[in-house]
Amino acid sequence: MYLTMRHAYLEIATLEESHVGKLSAALAHGALKGARGNSGVILSQIFAGTAKALDGHARLTAPLLADACRMAVDAAYNAVDKPVEGTILTVSRQMMEAVLKRQQEEHDLIALLKSMVFAGRAALRHTPELLPVLKKAGVVDSGGAGLIYIFEGMLRSLCGKALVVDGDLLVSDSAETWQDALVPEDELGYGYDVQFLMRGDNLNIDNVRKDINAMGWSTLVVGDNKLIKVHVHVHNPGDPLAYAINLGATLDDIVVENMQRQYEEYVEKREQREDHVRLDISGVAVITVASGDGLRELFSQQLNAAHVISGGQTMNPSTGDFLNAINALPNTDIILLPNNKNVILAAQQAAANAVGKNVRVISSTTIPQGIATMFEYVNLCSQEHCTLDEIVDAMSGVLGDVITCEITNATRDAEFDGVQVRAGQYIGLINDRLTISGDDITQVARDLLQTAGAKRSERITLYYGSDATEAQANRLADTLMLDFGRQEFEVVYGGQALYPYIISVE
């Protein structure tokens, strides 16, 4: 939602416009381009409905606000095939209902906005009662919380109250692309990240903190008069180190990282990765989403995807990312493969807003599903006169032929669907549903395949990620073969983060 709002803001940041209809249209356009994840896409549709209601109106009135709320909520619900209560949708609807209830006798916009925010807070507190998974996790809906933050910001601004803003989250009004957003503000670059321990007797932590802070930025100085931990970003790493030595302190656990070099390497690798659009694909082209060098190469080089957008779990591509890829291709007929349930809405919005192209979305929710559909695509494209509809139907038809098992680590203690999980344990998911937890990754993998009914399958493929080695993956496959001797095993490098293994059962 933050990324969606950033793009929305950038669209209006330089507008010298007091026409509420034009501002709303620009805001909605920016939000659509930057919409990421389900909540981000729903937020963009809230702005789209608002813009539709305010089109042609120079000033906002109470009746117009009511219409805008109604059309915003309608657009949000229409964006989702199967709306789920206890989410941002519920919060937005109850905010709308509060405005509709009061706008007949209340024409003050600030008063109406207060009613919206208060109703939203009440709705947010109630989301765990509507969505059991939230209650089990002990949290409220994050999308609904984000929506409340946005409208609270509006209310505070209208009331002349200060906004509490984290400096690291400030948005540059000149950043239009990820390259622009990453450019260092300091002309000398990002500098060095320096960390070390200072040991001594009678160290004055207040003086050390003041002196270190004067040398650089992102300063953290904690400890006592015998041991101080220092973290600081500087252009000359020798300055804080020499300072500590001159104080008579002994240094330990010294870390110096060149952030400018890290930035340059990241930009180079990402540009190489994202600028690659295959123009040699005739007929129907596929744009897919994957995280990890191995998976991106598999989709592009072996399965003939015209473009692979970097993303997936925790790094959802935006509607704009899809539209940019669509526009970069010469093909008229294009298929989008999200490969993640939280990316489907962004893909659908891109398909709906593509101009001059026939764009279809296949609702793949996992990487193995996407790979299975691409094998079907390759087979079909070898035939002549295969239409877009025929390819879409065939690719969609194999989504149910693959079971996806994933292994990752729990970040906190939790209980879902009767499965108890401790922070740090391995957890196993089947088709995105938590199923297994345990301390031994081999046992988790074995139990996962047993539960998935892998003994009835023909083929098991292990895609190992950045947290596993080829040798470890081969050893795991060899061990699993003892229990699944009739199945054909294959080990493939995926390079994905967070998930040591993604396992396809077919």
CA angle 214, 216, 217 (to 5 degrees): 110
pLDDT > 90? residue 151: yes
pLDDT > 60? residue 310: yes
Q: pLDDT tier at 175 (50, 70, 90 boundaries)?
A: very low
Q: What is the DSSP string of 157-193?
A: HHTTPPP---GGGPPPTT--SHHHHHS-SSTT-S-EE
pLDDT > 90? residue 454: yes
| Selected residue with higher pLDDT from 36 and 489 | 489
Which architecture characterizes domain 192-263 according to CATH?
2-Layer Sandwich (3.30)
Average per-residue pLDDT for the chain: 89
Q: pLDDT tier at 385 (50, 70, 90 boundaries)?
A: confident
| Selected residue with higher pLDDT from 473 and 13 | 473
pLDDT > 60? residue 173: no
pLDDT > 80? residue 382: no
Q: Quote the pLDDT of residue 139.
A: 80
| Selected residue with higher pLDDT from 82 and 431 | 431
Residue 251: which of 219, 228, 282, 273 has the closest Cα? 228
- The structure's pTM equals 0.72
Which of 165-174, 177-186, 274-283 has maximum average pLDDT? 274-283
Q: Quote the pLDDT of residue 170.
A: 35
Q: What is the CA radius of gyration of the chain?
A: 26
Q: What is the mean pLDDT of residues 402-431?
A: 90
Please write the tens of the pLDDT for every residue from 253-284: 899 999 999 888 877 776 665 557 888 898 99
pLDDT > 50? residue 420: yes
**Percent of the chain, pLDDT > 70?**
95
> Could you give the maximum distance between any two Cα atoms of the chain, in Å?
82
The SS3 assignment for 429 reads: strand
Fold agreement (2-167, 403-505): no
Q: pLDDT tier at 242 (50, 70, 90 boundaries)?
A: very high
pLDDT > 60? residue 132: yes
Q: pLDDT tier at 180 (50, 70, 90 boundaries)?
A: low
pLDDT > 90? residue 311: no
| Selected residue with higher pLDDT from 350 and 79 | 350
Class of the CATH domain delimited by 277-401 = alpha beta
Residue 252: which of 229, 282, 278 has the closest Cα? 229
Q: Quote the pLDDT of residue 271.
A: 67
Which architecture characterizes domain 403-505 according to CATH?
2-Layer Sandwich (3.30)
Residue 45: which of 319, 253, 301, 235 has the closest Cα? 319
Q: Quote the pLDDT of residue 38.
A: 83
pLDDT > 70? residue 164: no
Q: Does domain 2-167 have CATH number 1.20.120?
A: no
pLDDT > 70? residue 178: no
pLDDT > 90? residue 417: no
For residues 306 and 277, give the distance between their C-alpha atoms in angstroms, rounded to a whole number: 6
pLDDT > 60? residue 177: no
Q: Quote the pLDDT of residue 203.
A: 93
pLDDT > 80? residue 220: no
Q: Quote the pLDDT of residue 462.
A: 98
**Percent of the chain, pLDDT > 90?**
66
Please write the tens of the pLDDT for every residue from 55-114: 999 999 999 999 999 999 999 998 887 888 999 999 999 999 999 999 888 889 999 999
Q: Domain locations in the chain?
A: 2-167, 192-263, 277-401, 403-505
pLDDT > 70? residue 168: no
Q: Quote the pLDDT of residue 471.
A: 96
Per DSSP (E only), the strands in 343-425 are 358-361, 403-409, 414-416, 419-421
Scan for tokens 């809230």, then name that residue: 46
Q: Quote the pLDDT of residue 273.
A: 59
Q: How many CB atoms lie within 10 A of CB 44?
A: 33
| Selected residue with higher pLDDT from 187 and 50 | 50
Q: Quote the pLDDT of residue 17.
A: 80
pLDDT > 50? residue 355: yes
- Please say whether the beta carbons of 339 and 315 come within 8 A: no
Q: What is the mean pLDDT of residues 329-341?
A: 96
Q: What is the mean pLDDT of residues 347-351?
A: 95
